[in-house]
Amino acid sequence: MKFVRFRGILWIAVASAVVLASPRVASAHFIWLKVEESEEAGESTVQAFFNEEPEPDASFVKYVRDIPLTVGGRVVPSEMTDDAREGRWLGRPPVIVDAERDLGVMTRGGESHRLYYTARAQTEPVAGRTKETGDKLRVRLITRGDKPTIEARFNGEPVAEARVKMYHDDGDTSELLTDKRGRAEIVGFGDKILGLWVNHIDQTEGERDGKTYSETRYYATLTYTPAEVALGGKTALEATTFATFPEPAVNSFGGAVLGKWLYVYGGHVGETHRYDVNTTANHFRRLNLEDKKTWEDLPMGPDLQGLSLVSDGKALYRVGGMVAKNEPGEPNDLHSTAEFARFDPETKTWTTLTPLPEPRSTHDAFVLGRTLYVIGGWKMSGAIEDSVFFDTAAAFDLDKPEEGWRTFPQPFQRRALSIIPHDGKLYVLGGLVGDGMTVDRSVDIYDPASGEWSKGPDLAGEGRTEGFGTSAFDIDGRLYYSGSSGRIFRLNAANDAWEAVGAWALPRLTHRLLPGPNNTILAVGGASGAMHQIGVIEAVHPPPPAGAKTAAAFD
């Protein structure tokens, strides 16, 4: 949609960065955010720009060069274009994107005031009871029956009789005031109404950078693009669905990719935290990643959940896991296993290898070089409360199987974690500690070359379960992970912070992130927040690093 430039002029004194000299007038300009359709399927673009109306203008692009775009307090990676700062968002569009800027103290007519801008873009209304996490002046679209309603809040409290200015698609503008609850009905928002701003003046005196001011003038902008519009007319689920599971769908399973096949071994079925002889899937299957439809049943070993399945590029390795021996309704009788076996995809046969030093489950494993590492987990020997956490990791040289396993200390005791190689090291993400139900968002890094452990940036995300049952994968040398919030995070280039880069349509935990065709990331299995197994496999396509060549097919 092409916007019409507005003829109305708003006379407001602003900072030097936003006072636009003209022989005739000075007009007010604001920071705006918008979520729009991307050229790539299954993703959207987040724009930040500076203008009077909600339409980018290359003349003012310098005013957003260094402004951070955030989702849930986490920075969204972005780059400059000719007329805006743009970020690429994978999968389901973000519900809310924020940006803000303190424009400092300015003097006009002998009086000084401070000017502060906040900007927001939404793709879905939020419930009116949802806590506003942003401070200062914020405006949001909320659900209020069938009436599209905006709500203005200042430091979390409603702003009564706040001035609201709306920009229409025909070039006109209109104004109204919020009610005593800081609310106002906006008919046609996201369609006929392209954007709006809300004004609030805080008469608290203050000082900034050695300059005093008598009040702060706040302006909060808001645009609304329905999620299906941002995805080019498709729903988030339709835009990201890659394949579906045959019944039953599973969580806490072993998953790996080898050649053109995605393999799924065992896993938990039924109600979460309920275990008996019927709650473990007795299937070993593989999905053809080329046609995305063909599932093939393979020879099965023991029924297991909480296991690891990894690939060295030639074969698959099944490591540990847990088996439930109790009948339905009986007390838990859960036992970890030390089993270690290799699967040959050509002959479709299993070969038993040297068992783990001790039975282990809800750990994670990965092959780095020619060594298979197993980290975290616990040993179950009946009742859950009798389980014992490990304080050692284990390693197996695949080229020297006769040497068996070696163990080495790990500076933590966690389970339901994830590990992933990155920059030649093993990153260990999150997990449960203590009684096995307390989430720890720590990131520990193991360097096989030195044998030393170090700390990485704590995991991002919100919610008490974020950090439990995560999964991670490295694509084009960048590390991605997701957890129960459904958000997709990426480790930044400096390896010292997590960036928000996308979201799955279906939030999930105890899932697996696995490589798909053409450098995509697949979210496989897992359980939803409602604790039901997810039968949809989703895909997102992270942008390759500058100068990188993207693979056209599997090796």
- Provide the CB-side half-sphere exposure for 36 (13 A, CA): 17
Of 530, 531, 537, the closest CA to residue 516 belongs to 537
Q: Tell me how far apart the alpha carbons of residues 98 and 76 are, in angstroms, rounded to a whole number.
A: 10
Query: Tens-of-pLDDT digits for all 555 residues of the chain?
Result: 333 332 232 323 233 234 333 333 335 899 999 999 998 888 999 999 999 999 999 999 999 999 999 999 999 999 999 999 999 999 999 999 999 999 999 988 889 999 999 999 999 999 999 999 889 999 999 998 888 899 999 999 999 999 999 999 999 999 999 999 999 999 999 999 999 999 999 999 999 999 999 999 999 999 999 999 999 999 888 888 999 999 999 999 999 999 999 999 999 998 878 899 999 999 999 999 999 999 999 999 999 999 999 999 999 999 999 999 999 999 999 999 999 999 999 999 999 999 999 999 999 999 999 999 999 999 999 999 999 999 999 999 999 999 999 999 999 999 999 999 999 999 999 999 987 678 999 999 999 999 999 999 999 967 778 899 999 999 889 999 999 999 999 999 999 999 999 999 999 999 999 999 998 999 999 999 666 899 999 999 998 765 444 333 333
Partnered with residue 166 across adjacent β-strands are: 174, 196
Q: Tell me if 130 sits within 8 A of 145, measured CB to CB.
A: no
Q: Tell me if 461 sits within 8 A of 72, measured CB to CB.
A: yes
For residues 369-394, one letter each, b for 16 or more C-beta atoms within 10 angstroms of the residue's C-beta and e for the rest, the string is: eebbbbbbbbbbeeeeeebebbeebb
Close Cβ partners of 56 (under 8 Å, ≥ 6 residues apart): 47, 49, 83, 84
Close Cβ partners of 166 (under 8 Å, ≥ 6 residues apart): 173, 174, 175, 176, 186, 193, 195, 196
Burial class (CB in 10 A: 0-12, 13-18, 19+), 36: middle
Q: Tell me how far apart the alpha carbons of residues 271 and 279 are, in angstroms, rounded to a whole number.
A: 8
User: Which helix (H) or strand (E) element contains residue 419?
Assistant: strand 418-422
Of 391, 243, 376, the closest CA to residue 306 belongs to 376
* 6 secondary structure, DSSP code: P
What is the gyration radius of the CA atoms in the chain, in angstroms? 27
Question: What per-residue confidence (pLDDT) applies to 192?
Answer: 93
* 523 secondary structure, DSSP code: E
Q: Which domains does the chain have, with CATH numbers?
A: 30-230 (no CATH), 253-476 (2.120.10.80)
